[in-house]
């Protein structure tokens, strides 16, 4: 149970008695600064913070959690020091406004004001749930009567005091993006001199010469305690997390990406800048201990309650991309019939259905009766209907209603001028900047029309929805730097890089969130799949605006398992979609291995099952889909997840384990790789009670069912024997009634 409380006191000396863990170092006058004496405390079952309002700036004083001491912060939060009005740079003098500040059990807001120009800065902390991390945001309002420009304000900046020899470890996770890389989940020792920056945007892995993007999240643990803290960013624009250790200090910054500099954003009179919300949590029991709390928290705080209330979430889907762009009415109807027979729950039409890029109307040659007829057919077969749309891309179609790149209005929304001979790719065009109010309005109307006219239960967005950078000086974002600008073409579209790129993404992402928030309000129950050429938009901002993610754009079994292994460290498994594509399956065991590699989260089959699957494979798939719905789905939704092997490499064995402590049930997914001699492997299970006995049932009967003690399962492990390479087993685990 949480002890959620907030203390507002002017006697700041008093709390050192309350928090004996905090050393006297923290309250030496020089470090304390000119304390106004106002402190507050925010607490969940996992995370405790103490914050302090100095006269000129606020400070996160300590972060602590059970199983570890406190992390003392040596630095006040750096607040922006100047604004620009016209060509003039005006220094700011922030003053604490005690009367406007507020603190209660669930939130703390310290307010600072600048007299000239008149600005208000609100430094916010929230505990949205009684467990898990706390959230932090900084809001800057322009209360003056003039337009002004503000420089970079980070979301969170800290400098933990750490003992010089303290063994610290850093964990961060790449996006699955186009293809999961060879590493994916990174574990690095944070030794003296460690310097790291991880960046995220909506374009992960678009250029070979840039480092892989991270899911904007990082975890730091004390190796001796398996405890520490983690932080993440609830925003999809250009963000970064940086860490630097020097002797007794671990500095970090989390927020928008200041690179390329200089960042500036415009504030009209009355407008506000809101730093991306970050969350900060303490954890114990290692990265899986952190992940299992964070999964629940993401579901409760960021997730759509309507989605999670549906007991059929996550759904099983069949998608038309197995046949590429060749989808048509006949293919769709045939796939719907077979999907219904297999027990699939949604039919998803991928790219290829439309007249042209930007012209999001059904191609009359492929769909002579329109798309609503296909939706009706799916519904009559008991299936939901989903649709792929790349709705921010302009093409060259001249049909009424199409987003035509040559239309002067549309041209002014696009991120750069395109040459006269430009043509879109079959399903990719030129991105418009949603940060332009007219463009946003058009997009809002267009997605509303698509959802209504085509009777959608699910809308998937793809392509590059958010402008990468923008060449225009007349958009709401900052103008590009003409001397430091790069325009390049890749995948049939033009991209811009300049010092305004972060501000461009700040505006475009907020517009995208507005569009989806309204769509969700107007269509409760409508599902959103987040896709950006695969898993390039996997972050906590999209987690708050969509229902599930395409986690990679490579669909073979090992890539699916790698992307799942990585992403499931931070996001709920139910939100993690694997597309299962056609793969060589000479034996039925290989077929089950292929399916199960995508069955640990949200399963989307991307195969025309009519033509690709034999009767034996149909029967096997039917059984797998049935066990997914009855046994696996409840675990994927609610259970704890343990990464019980090294990251999958396709060569050695790998596996993931679910364990639901409420229902005392779980499952081990075991996958055998390609090493000829390795036909057995023992998985050391987690989360069980060593003093209890557990019934283990081998779904494929590769070993006899039996009862095993928790001590053995968590010690020697659960032995699996699989004679074939590229095969698998699912072992269901249930607590036996009798004590040991
Ligand atoms: Zn723009």
Q: How many angstroms does the Cα of residue 175 sit away from the middle of ligand 1?
A: 26
Instruction: Report yes or no: 256 and 263 within 8 Å, Cβ to Cβ.
Output: yes
Q: How many angstroms does the Cα of residue 55 sit away from the middle of ligand 1?
A: 39
Contacts of 456 (CB under 8 A, 6+ apart): 375, 385, 386, 387, 450, 526
Confidence band, pLDDT 50/70/90 cuts, at residue 406: very high
Rounded Cα–Cα distance for residues 356 and 362 (Å): 9
Q: Higher pLDDT residue, 33 or 56?
A: 56
Rounded Cα–Cα distance for residues 215 and 210 (Å): 15
Q: How many angstroms does the Cα of residue 468 sit away from the middle of ligand 1?
A: 9
Q: How many angstroms does the Cα of residue 156 sit away from the middle of ligand 1?
A: 27
pLDDT at residue 30 in the model? 28
Q: How many angstroms does the Cα of residue 64 sit away from the middle of ligand 1?
A: 42
Pairing between β-strand 458-461 and β-strand 527-530 as defined by DSSP bridges? parallel
231-269 burial by CB neighbour count: b if 16+ within 10 A, else e? bbbbbbbbbbbbbbbeeeebbbbbbbbbebeebbbbbee
CB-CB neighbours of 412 under 10 Å: 16
Would you state the structure tokens that stand for residue 390, as one six-digit string? 């790349």
Q: How many angstroms does the Cα of residue 735 sit away from the middle of ligand 1?
A: 58
- Whether 16 has a pLDDT exceeding 50, the answer reads no
Q: For 88, what's the count of Cα atoms within 13 Å in the CB-facing half-sphere?
A: 8
Q: How many angstroms does the Cα of residue 168 sit away from the middle of ligand 1?
A: 42
Q: How many angstroms does the Cα of residue 400 sit away from the middle of ligand 1?
A: 24
- 536 sits in which H/E element: none
pLDDT at residue 574 in the model? 98
Instruction: Report yes or no: 669 and 321 within 8 Å, Cβ to Cβ.
Output: no
Q: How many angstroms does the Cα of residue 446 sit away from the middle of ligand 1?
A: 20
Q: How many angstroms does the Cα of residue 469 sit away from the middle of ligand 1?
A: 7
Torsion angle of alpha carbons 391, 397, 398, 403, nearest 10°? Answer: 20
Q: How many angstroms does the Cα of residue 472 sit away from the middle of ligand 1?
A: 5
Q: How many angstroms does the Cα of residue 451 sit away from the middle of ligand 1?
A: 26
DSSP-derived letter for residue 78 is P
pLDDT at residue 738 in the model? 66
Per-residue pLDDT tens digits for 493-528: 999 999 999 999 999 999 999 999 999 999 999 999
Rounded Cα–Cα distance for residues 268 and 265 (Å): 10
- Whether 15 has a pLDDT exceeding 70, the answer reads no
Would you state the structure tokens that stand for residue 67, as one six-digit string? 């199983």
Q: What is the pTM of this model?
A: 0.94
- Whether 7 has a pLDDT exceeding 70, the answer reads no
Per-residue pLDDT tens digits for 643-695: 999 999 999 999 999 999 999 999 999 999 999 999 999 999 999 999 999 99
Rounded Cα–Cα distance for residues 633 and 652 (Å): 27
Q: How many angstroms does the Cα of residue 377 sit away from the middle of ligand 1?
A: 41
Q: How many angstroms does the Cα of residue 467 sit away from the middle of ligand 1?
A: 7
Question: Residues 338, 339, 340, 341: is their CA dihedral positive or negative?
Answer: positive
Q: How many angstroms does the Cα of residue 88 sit away from the middle of ligand 1?
A: 24
- Mean pLDDT for 99-111 is 97
Per-residue pLDDT tens digits for 609-650: 999 999 999 999 999 999 999 999 999 999 999 999 999 999
Q: How many angstroms does the Cα of residue 542 sit away from the middle of ligand 1?
A: 21
Confidence band, pLDDT 50/70/90 cuts, at residue 739: low
Instruction: Report yes or no: 468 and 430 within 8 Å, Cβ to Cβ.
Output: no
Q: How many angstroms does the Cα of residue 503 sit away from the middle of ligand 1?
A: 9
What percent of the chain is modeled with pLDDT above 70?
94
Rounded Cα–Cα distance for residues 336 and 344 (Å): 9
Q: How many angstroms does the Cα of residue 244 sit away from the middle of ligand 1?
A: 34
Phi-psi category of 285—alpha, beta or left, where left has phi over 0 and alpha has psi -120 to 50? left
Contacts of 17 (CB under 8 A, 6+ apart): none
Q: How many angstroms does the Cα of residue 714 sit away from the middle of ligand 1?
A: 55
CB-CB neighbours of 711 under 10 Å: 15
- Whether 3 has a pLDDT exceeding 50, the answer reads no
- Whether 740 has a pLDDT exceeding 60, the answer reads no
pLDDT at residue 399 in the model? 97
Q: How many angstroms does the Cα of residue 441 sit away from the middle of ligand 1?
A: 15
Q: How many angstroms does the Cα of residue 507 sit away from the middle of ligand 1?
A: 9
Contacts of 520 (CB under 8 A, 6+ apart): 304, 526, 528, 545
- Whether 358 has a pLDDT exceeding 50, the answer reads yes
- Whether 207 has a pLDDT exceeding 90, the answer reads no
Q: How many angstroms does the Cα of residue 527 sit away from the middle of ligand 1?
A: 29
Q: How many angstroms does the Cα of residue 146 sit away from the middle of ligand 1?
A: 22
Q: How many angstroms does the Cα of residue 259 sit away from the middle of ligand 1?
A: 18
Q: How many angstroms does the Cα of residue 83 sit away from the middle of ligand 1?
A: 22
Would you state the structure tokens that stand for residue 712, as one six-digit string? 């053995």
Confidence band, pLDDT 50/70/90 cuts, at residue 9: very low
Q: How many angstroms does the Cα of residue 312 sit away from the middle of ligand 1?
A: 40
Rounded Cα–Cα distance for residues 229 and 51 (Å): 17
Cross-sheet strand order for the sheet of 70-73? 35-43, 48-54, 58-64, 70-73, 156-161, 249-256, 239-246, 195-200
Backbone angles phi, psi at 192, to 5 degrees: -55, 130
| Cα distance from N-terminal residue to C-terminal residue, the chain | 30
Backbone angles phi, psi at 197, to 5 degrees: -135, 130
Q: How many angstroms does the Cα of residue 264 sit away from the middle of ligand 1?
A: 14
Q: How many angstroms does the Cα of residue 505 sit away from the middle of ligand 1?
A: 9
Q: Higher pLDDT residue, 680 or 533?
A: 680
Q: How many angstroms does the Cα of residue 621 sit away from the middle of ligand 1?
A: 47
Q: How many angstroms does the Cα of residue 433 sit away from the middle of ligand 1?
A: 5
With both helix axes pointing from N to C terminus, report the angle between 372-380 and 329-342 in degrees, rounded to the nearest 10.
20
Q: How many angstroms does the Cα of residue 440 sit away from the middle of ligand 1?
A: 12
Q: How many angstroms does the Cα of residue 415 sit away from the middle of ligand 1?
A: 5
Rounded Cα–Cα distance for residues 477 and 28 (Å): 43
Rounded Cα–Cα distance for residues 415 and 406 (Å): 13
Q: How many angstroms does the Cα of residue 204 sit away from the middle of ligand 1?
A: 20
Please choose, from the candidates 628, 696, 623, the residue with its C-alpha nearest in 3D space to the C-alpha of residue 665.
696
Q: How many angstroms does the Cα of residue 203 sit away from the middle of ligand 1?
A: 16
Q: How many angstroms does the Cα of residue 418 sit away from the middle of ligand 1?
A: 14
Q: How many angstroms does the Cα of residue 208 sit away from the middle of ligand 1?
A: 25
Instruction: Report yes or no: 580 and 597 within 8 Å, Cβ to Cβ.
Output: yes
Q: How many angstroms does the Cα of residue 470 sit away from the middle of ligand 1?
A: 4
pLDDT at residue 579 in the model? 98
Mean pLDDT for the chain overall: 93
Confidence band, pLDDT 50/70/90 cuts, at residue 37: low
Q: How many angstroms does the Cα of residue 61 sit away from the middle of ligand 1?
A: 39
Q: How many angstroms does the Cα of residue 19 sit away from the middle of ligand 1?
A: 50
Per-residue pLDDT tens digits for 299-334: 999 999 999 999 999 999 999 999 999 999 999 999
Rounded Cα–Cα distance for residues 450 and 353 (Å): 13
DSSP-derived letter for residue 243 is E
- Whether 29 has a pLDDT exceeding 60, the answer reads no
Rounded Cα–Cα distance for residues 228 and 281 (Å): 9
Q: How many angstroms does the Cα of residue 496 sit away from the middle of ligand 1?
A: 10
Per-residue pLDDT tens digits for 360-373: 999 999 999 999 99
Q: How many angstroms does the Cα of residue 271 sit away from the middle of ligand 1?
A: 19
**Residue 490, beta-bridge partner list:** 493
Per-residue pLDDT tens digits for 423-468: 999 999 999 999 999 999 999 999 999 999 999 999 999 988 999 8
Q: How many angstroms does the Cα of residue 500 sit away from the middle of ligand 1?
A: 9
Cross-sheet strand order for the sheet of 265-267? 88-91, 82-85, 148-150, 265-267
pLDDT at residue 468 in the model? 87
Q: How many angstroms does the Cα of residue 413 sit away from the middle of ligand 1?
A: 7
Angle, CA 449 vertex, CA 444 and CA 450 arms, to 5°: 100
Q: How many angstroms does the Cα of residue 432 sit away from the middle of ligand 1?
A: 8
Angle, CA 561 vertex, CA 555 and CA 565 arms, to 5°: 135
CB-CB neighbours of 522 under 10 Å: 11
- Whether 90 has a pLDDT exceeding 70, the answer reads yes
- Whether 240 has a pLDDT exceeding 50, the answer reads yes
pLDDT-wise least confident of 137-146, 373-382, 458-467: 458-467
pLDDT at residue 463 in the model? 86
Q: How many angstroms does the Cα of residue 477 sit away from the middle of ligand 1?
A: 6
Backbone angles phi, psi at 714, to 5 degrees: -95, 0
Q: How many angstroms does the Cα of residue 232 sit away from the middle of ligand 1?
A: 27
- Whether 549 has a pLDDT exceeding 80, the answer reads yes
Confidence band, pLDDT 50/70/90 cuts, at residue 6: very low
- Mean pLDDT for 703-730 is 98
Q: How many angstroms does the Cα of residue 493 sit away from the middle of ligand 1?
A: 15
**Largest Cα–Cα separation, the chain:** 79
pLDDT at residue 239 in the model? 98
Q: How many angstroms does the Cα of residue 492 sit away from the middle of ligand 1?
A: 19
**Residue 88, beta-bridge partner list:** 85
Q: How many angstroms does the Cα of residue 358 sit away from the middle of ligand 1?
A: 18
CB-CB neighbours of 69 under 10 Å: 14
Rounded Cα–Cα distance for residues 641 and 658 (Å): 5
Would you state the structure tokens that stand for residue 480, as one six-digit string? 């590009």
With both helix axes pointing from N to C terminus, report the angle between 501-522 and 437-453 in degrees, rounded to the nearest 10.
30
Phi-psi category of 271—alpha, beta or left, where left has phi over 0 and alpha has psi -120 to 50? beta
Q: How many angstroms does the Cα of residue 452 sit away from the middle of ligand 1?
A: 29
Question: Residues 24, 30, 35, 40: is their CA dihedral positive or negative?
Answer: negative
Q: How many angstroms does the Cα of residue 504 sit away from the middle of ligand 1?
A: 6
Q: How many angstroms does the Cα of residue 622 sit away from the middle of ligand 1?
A: 49
- Whether 177 has a pLDDT exceeding 90, the answer reads yes
* Residue 193: Cβ-neighbour burial (10 angstroms; 0-12, 13-18, 19+): exposed
Contacts of 309 (CB under 8 A, 6+ apart): none
Confidence band, pLDDT 50/70/90 cuts, at residue 35: very low
């Amino acid at each position: 149970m949480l002890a959620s409380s907030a203390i507002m006191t002017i006697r700041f000396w008093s709390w050192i008695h309350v928090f004996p863990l905090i050393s006297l170092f923290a309250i030496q006058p020089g470090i304390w600064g000119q304390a106004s004496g106002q402190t507050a405390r925010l607490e969940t079952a996992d995370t405790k913070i103490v914050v302090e309002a100095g006269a000129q700036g606020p400070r996160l004083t300590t972060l602590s959690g059970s199983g570890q001491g406190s992390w003392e912060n040596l630095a006040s939060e750096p607040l922006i020091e100047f604004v620009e009005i016209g060509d003039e740079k005006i220094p700011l003098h922030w003053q604490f406004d005690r009367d406007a500040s507020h603190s209660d059990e669930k939130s703390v807001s310290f307010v600072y004001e600048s007299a000239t120009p008149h600005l208000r800065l609100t430094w916010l902390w929230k505990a949205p749930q009684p467990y898990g991390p706390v959230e932090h945001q900084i809001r800057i309002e322009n209360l003056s009567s003039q337009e002004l420009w503000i420089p970079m304000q980070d979301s969170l900046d800290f400098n933990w005091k750490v003992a010089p020899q303290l063994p610290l470890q850093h964990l961060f996770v790449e996006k699955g993006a186009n293809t999961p890389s060879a590493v994916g989940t990174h574990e690095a020792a944070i030794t003296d001199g460690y310097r790291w920056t991880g960046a995220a945007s909506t374009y992960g892995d678009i250029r070979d010469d840039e480092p892989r993007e991270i899911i904007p999240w990082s975890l730091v643990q004390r190796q001796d305690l398996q405890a520490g803290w983690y932080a993440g960013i609830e925003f999809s624009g250009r963000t970064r997390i940086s860490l630097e250790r020097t002797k007794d200090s671990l500095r970090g910054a989390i927020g928008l990406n200041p690179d390329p500099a200089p960042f500036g954003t415009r504030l009209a009179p009355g407008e506000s800048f809101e730093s991306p919300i970050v969350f900060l949590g303490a954890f114990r029991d290692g990265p899986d201990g952190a992940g299992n709390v964070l999964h629940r928290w993401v579901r409760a705080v960021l997730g759509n309650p309507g989605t999670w209330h549906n007991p059929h979430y996550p759904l099983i889907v069949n998608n038309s991309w197995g046949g590429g762009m060749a989808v048509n009415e006949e293919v769709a109807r045939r796939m719907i019939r077979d999907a219904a027979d297999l027990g699939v729950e949604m039919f998803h039409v991928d790219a290829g259905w439309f007249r042209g890029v930007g012209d999001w109307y059904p191609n009359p040659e492929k769909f002579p009766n329109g798309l609503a007829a296909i939706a009706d057919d799916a519904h009559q077969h008991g299936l939901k209907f989903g649709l792929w749309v790349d709705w921010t891309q302009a093409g060259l179609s001249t049909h009424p209603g199409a987003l035509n790149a040559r239309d002067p209005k549309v041209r002014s929304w696009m991120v750069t001028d395109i040459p006269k001979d430009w043509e879109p790719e079959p399903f990719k065009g030129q991105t418009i900047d949603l940060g332009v109010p007219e463009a946003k309005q058009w997009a809002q109307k267009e997605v509303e029309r698509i959802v209504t006219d085509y009777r959608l239960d699910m809308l998937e967005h793809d392509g590059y929805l958010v402008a990468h950078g923008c060449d225009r000086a007349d958009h709401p974002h900052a103008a590009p730097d003409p001397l430091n600008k790069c325009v390049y073409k890749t995948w049939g579209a033009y991209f811009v890089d300049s010092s305004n790129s972060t501000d461009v993404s700040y505006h475009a992402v907020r517009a995208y969130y507005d569009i989806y928030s309204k769509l969700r309000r107007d269509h409760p129950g409508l599902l959103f799949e987040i896709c950006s050429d695969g898993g390039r938009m996997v972050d906590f901002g999209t987690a708050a605006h969509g229902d599930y993610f395409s986690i990679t754009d490579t669909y073979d079994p090992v890539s699916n398992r790698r992307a799942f292994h990585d992403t499931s460290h931070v996001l709920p498994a139910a939100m993690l979609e694997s597309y299962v594509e056609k793969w060589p399956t000479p034996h039925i065991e290989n077929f089950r291995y292929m399916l199960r590699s995508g069955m640990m989260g949200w399963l989307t089959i991307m195969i025309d099952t009519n033509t690709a699957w034999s009767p034996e494979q149909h029967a096997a798939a039917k059984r797998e889909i049935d066990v997914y719905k009855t046994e696996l789905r409840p675990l994927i939704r609610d259970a704890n997840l343990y990464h019980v092997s090294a990251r999958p490499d396709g060569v050695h064995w790998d596996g993931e384990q679910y364990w639901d402590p409420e229902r005392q049930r779980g499952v081990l997914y075991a996958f055998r790789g390609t090493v000829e001699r390795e036909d057995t492997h023992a998985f050391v299970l987690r989360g069980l009670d060593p003093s209890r006995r557990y019934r283990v049932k081998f779904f494929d009967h590769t070993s006899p069912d039996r009862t095993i003690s928790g001590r053995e399962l968590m010690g020697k492990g659960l032995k699996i024997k699989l004679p074939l390479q590229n095969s698998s087993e699912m072992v269901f685990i249930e607590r036996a009634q009798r004590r040991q």
